[in-house]
Amino acid sequence: MENKKIPLLQIKNITKVYNIGENKLDILKGINLTVEEGEFVAIMGPSGSGKSTLMHILGLLDRPTDGVYEIYGQNVLKFNDSQTAFLRSKIIGFVFQQYNLLNKMTAADNVALPLVYSGGKNRKERAEKLLGEVDLSNRTEHKPTQLSGGQQQRVAIARALVNDPKIIFADEPTGNLSSKQSNEIMQILTDLNKKGISIILVTHEPDIAKWADRLITIKDGQVIGDTRQKPSKQVKSNPIEIKKVAAHLSFAEFAENFFSAIRAIISNKTRSLLTMLGIIIGVASIISMLALGSGAQKSLEKQITSMGTNLLYLMPGRISLGGVSGSVTRRIYLKDVDALAENTELIKNIDPNVSGSVQVVYGNKNTNTSITGATPAYQYMQNSVPQYGRFFTKTENENLAKVCLVGTTVVKNLFGNENPVGKYIKINRKKFRVIGILPVKGAQGYRDGDDMVIVPLNTAMKRLLGTQYVSSVAVEVQDGKMSETETYLLQTMLERNKLTAEHADAFRIRNMSDMIQMLTSTTQTMTMLLGAVAGISLIVGGIGIMNIMLVSVSERTREIGLRKAIGATGIAILLQFLIESSVLSLLGGISGVTLGVIISLVVSKFAGWAVFVSSFSIILSVGFSAFVGIVFGLWPAKKASELSPIEALRHD
């Protein structure tokens, strides 16, 4: 009797049942087998007897229906995903009849791949050394398709050895090879066995089985023979402690995943581009919409604050009289303005205005424009000191002088390059002398702020518009007297009209922050609406990514199976595909930002609209596209990570 040492592996009563529709197929019918460290075992049996099924269970690529499987005395069928991955990575090397190399990688990268998951160092050197040992040192940079069958199988053996396994499972490793190549492979396996690695080999050729020390025969899912052909090497048992594979993502693994994602994207250029298109359009529209929206808002704010923050506007409102009589408007007359102006403690300056539209003629040119009647205070209160010429005086206003100031748009329309100051124009067929040009205001909301003419208030009321009352009164308030003045204005106007507080609607008072709020709330609503549309296109883009990830997962299911077979955990696979979808959507996001910025610049150049690309909108849209990639990549990635290695490897 031998001394009691722990066997390398032991299976007890292993069964495997496949359910095909209604039928139950008993493929393995209770297999018992013990393999000591250092043994070289050949399993023979007719085709269909269950040899591969048994090997997949032993290699932890598949699970038995029932039974016990112990490695170094530990029940490995109870292990979790991470512990099983450790066994596949560090203890087991699997050699397939079909080689199962990844065609997009070189021989050296294929050999080094298990080291990525086991965290092994010096991957390149180690892969080259092992390729040297299988006599392929001059083929390290070849892709699998550039190698013969025998060479591919030798690469696969080198890959199985890269983590110094305790045991190699080889399922008909010479099945696709010529007899010369077969002998080379068998010689390599024999040499490995001499170094102490246990070998279990499946074959249906007696010539191959002769290489082994022990021959096990299987028929119809049962062991029918177990003979020793020669004594096995005596290897001192040296059990490895079975640990978990590290749960964190190593840098090597991240880099591997990242570059395999880039490789996948590059090898499907058109498809990747079409997939990214949704994200690109979505991000580009978000960026440009927000740029236009915040540009409009910023220019409005600038204009309004440039007018001064201590201005109030008094305007007639409407009071309801109830019933069928509807509502009436209380007018503001010049004598009201004079009365209001008396309170100099509150009021610094006051400027009553009338406005209307007129036809203006110069020579044979004419244009329709808006006219404002104002007092000299207007130029200071509205930042309108003429850039050329002068404003009218108090006396000119009192004398109903026919003088006017013109905005630059009017100048352009009537005078072209001519200097208008000193010239006479006809406003509603009355002759006015141009005395100044108003400073440029630019667009004000949807209105051209330079398409205007200003004349003295009294001239406008009596000579042009024929009105007794003013349309609004601008009031410049003494510092810190804002709310006091608002009350004063309303109170005085109500009193003068013999109205009570319940008719406070008879007059409206607007301050600057009201105006800003009014204007910004319209631009904000607009921006949000456009943003929502852009957001929807991002979601559509995300669905495109999910779709392509599903395709990618299904195309690469065999690759997933192989990666798991050589020691990748489910998490590692999940991360691989998540990284791929994030790279895809991030690339789309970055291209989208670039496109969006270009669109904004082009629009601002040709349409003359103010744009402002905020870092907030860039972070928002890139962040959102990465988020879309992760969310929409998650489901396909999870599907991939949950496949059993052998199911995945059988996929076509």
Q: Over the range 495-505, which residues count as b (16 or more CB within 10 Å of their CB) and which as e?
A: eeeebeeebbe
E-strand ranges in 299-364 read: 311-316, 319-320, 327-328, 332-333, 347-362
**From residue 17 to residue 46, what is the string marking binding to ligand ADP with x (rule CB under 6 A)?**
-x-x----x-x-----------------x-
Task: Please give, one letter per residue, the 3-state secondary structure of 208-259.
Answer: HHCCCCEEEEEECCEEEEEEECCCCCCCCCCCCCCCCCCCCCCHHHHHHHHH
The set of residues, in sequence order, having a beta carbon less than 8 Å from that of 117 and lying 6+ positions away, is 85, 89, 245, 253, 563, 566, 567, 568, 569, 572
Residue 159 binding target from Mg ion, ligand ADP, none, CB below 5 to 8 Å by type: none
Least separation in angstroms between residue 649's CB and ligand ADP is: 11
Of 203 and 272, which has the nearer Cβ to Mg ion?
A: 203
Residue 537 binding target from Mg ion, ligand ADP, none, CB below 5 to 8 Å by type: none
Least separation in angstroms between residue 175's CB and Mg ion is: 8
Residue 20 binding target from ligand ADP, Mg ion, none, CB below 5 to 8 Å by type: ligand ADP
Of 97 and 382, which has the nearer Cβ to Mg ion?
A: 97
Least separation in angstroms between residue 50's CB and Mg ion is: 9
Q: What are the CA-CA distances from residue 141 to residues 132, 158, 530 (Å)?
A: 13, 14, 52
Residue 123 binding target from ligand ADP, Mg ion, none, CB below 5 to 8 Å by type: none
Least separation in angstroms between residue 27's CB and ligand ADP is: 4
Q: Give residues 554-593 in contact with Mg ion (rule: CB under 5 A).
A: none
Q: Over the range 266-304, which residues count as b (16 or more CB within 10 Å of their CB) and which as e?
A: eebeeebeebbebbbbbbbbbbbbbbbbbbbbbbbeebb
Q: In terms of C-beta density within 10 A (0-12 exposed, 13-18 middle, 19 or more buried), how is residue 457 classed? A: buried
Q: What are the CA-CA distances from residue 475 to residues 364, 513, 527 (Å)?
A: 40, 15, 33
Least separation in angstroms between residue 179's CB and ligand ADP is: 21
Of 221 and 589, which has the nearer Cβ to ligand ADP?
A: 221
Residue 47 binding target from Mg ion, ligand ADP, none, CB below 5 to 8 Å by type: ligand ADP
Q: Cβ distance 360 to 367 under 8 Å?
A: yes
Q: Which residue has the tokens 């297999």?
A: 31
Task: Please give, one letter per residue, the 3-state secondary structure of 366-379.
Answer: EEEEEEEEECCCHH
Q: What are the CA-CA distances from residue 618 to residues 537, 583, 605, 632 (Å)?
A: 16, 17, 21, 21
Radius of gyration of the chain (CA): 44
The interface region with Mg ion, picked from 48-56, 230-238, 308-316, 595-603 by CB under 5 A, is 48-56
The set of residues, in sequence order, having a beta carbon less than 8 Å from that of 632 and lying 6+ positions away, is 542, 543, 545, 546, 549, 581, 585
Least separation in angstroms between residue 172's CB and Mg ion is: 6
Nearest residue to ligand ADP by CB is 52
Of 216 and 493, which has the nearer Cβ to ligand ADP?
A: 216
Using rule CB under 6 A, residue 576 touches ligand ADP: no
E-strand ranges in 480-618 read: 507-511
The single-letter code of the amino acid at 169 is F
Q: What are the CA-CA distances from residue 385 to residues 377, 378, 394, 423, 454 (Å)?
A: 10, 9, 15, 19, 12
Least separation in angstroms between residue 291's CB and ligand ADP is: 57
Least separation in angstroms between residue 543's CB and Mg ion is: 41
Using rule CB under 6 A, residue 174 touches ligand ADP: no
Q: Cβ distance 134 to 151 under 8 Å?
A: no
Helix, strand, coil shares, percent, the chain, to 5? 50, 20, 30
Residue 328 binding target from Mg ion, ligand ADP, none, CB below 5 to 8 Å by type: none
Of 47 and 344, which has the nearer Cβ to ligand ADP?
A: 47
**From residue 39 to residue 78, what is the string marking binding to ligand ADP with x (rule CB under 6 A)?**
------x-xxxxxxx-------------------------
Residue 97 binding target from ligand ADP, Mg ion, none, CB below 5 to 8 Å by type: none
Using rule CB under 5 A, residue 49 touches Mg ion: no
Total number of residues that touch Mg ion (CB under 5 A): 1
Of 127 and 218, which has the nearer Cβ to ligand ADP?
A: 218
Total number of residues that touch ligand ADP (CB under 6 A): 12
Of 48 and 445, which has the nearer Cβ to ligand ADP?
A: 48
Residue 299 binding target from Mg ion, ligand ADP, none, CB below 5 to 8 Å by type: none
Using rule CB under 5 A, residue 52 touches Mg ion: yes
Least separation in angstroms between residue 3's CB and Mg ion is: 36
Binding site for ligand ADP (CB under 6 A): 18, 20, 25, 27, 45, 47-53
Residues that bind Mg ion (CB under 5 A): 52
